[in-house]
Structure 1
């Protein structure tokens, strides 16, 4: 699969998830639907942000590396980092929703994601 086709698949997914996220924001009442409505919101947010972050990290590697081969070589890393960043944002949103988010909780979440990324970078 070429980088161009991979990016088009991700872009299409991001557009679809943006539409789904807007639909959830406009149509789902979290007080009436309870935990299911909140779970749908968090899943839609996670998938949307994961796609956006993957596209961003791929663009960043392509800009820094200068060619398509460099970006294609690191596409797995971009995907992993996009998913980790999305996990971080959704975890912080969940903590904020439950009124549990403080600065040290946010710092611990960032440190945890950082340690997971360091594990993946050094396990080779």
Structure 2
């Protein structure tokens, strides 16, 4: 498959997940729906943010390398990094929801995601 076909699939998936996320925000009251509504919110947010960051990292790799073939060769890295950043963002949102997010909690979450990424980069 070409890079363009991958990117169109990710764009369409991101648009669908964005619509689902907006629908959850507009239609659901978190006080009435409880855990189910919060779970839907965070899953749709995770999917949306993953798509956005995957597209961003792929665009950056294509811009830096200047080659579509190089960006296609590293699509897996962009995919992993996009998902990890989206997980970090959702984790920070969850901590903020429970009013326990402080700067050192955020720094520890960033360090944890950074260590996971370093593990994958050094693994052969």
Residue 77 of structure 1 deviates from its aligned partner by: 0.1
- Corresponding residue of 2:61: 61
Normalised by the length of structure 2, the TM-score is 0.99
* Alpha-carbon distance in 1 for matches of 2:6, 2:123: 26
Say which SS state the counterpart of residue 100 (structure 1) adopts.
coil
* Alpha-carbon distance in 2 for matches of 1:36, 1:18: 18
- Corresponding residue of 2:100: 100
Matches within 5 A, 1:38-57: 38-57=38-57
- Corresponding residue of 1:13: 13
Aligned-CA RMSD value: 0.4
Cα deviation per residue 1:22-60 (whole Å; 9 max; x = unaligned)? 100100100000011000000000000000000000000
- Corresponding residue of 2:114: 114
Normalised by the length of structure 1, the TM-score is 0.99
Say which SS state the counterpart of residue 100 (structure 2) adopts.
coil
Gaps of 5+ in 1: none
Cα deviation per residue 1:56-89 (whole Å; 9 max; x = unaligned)? 0000000000010010010000000000000000
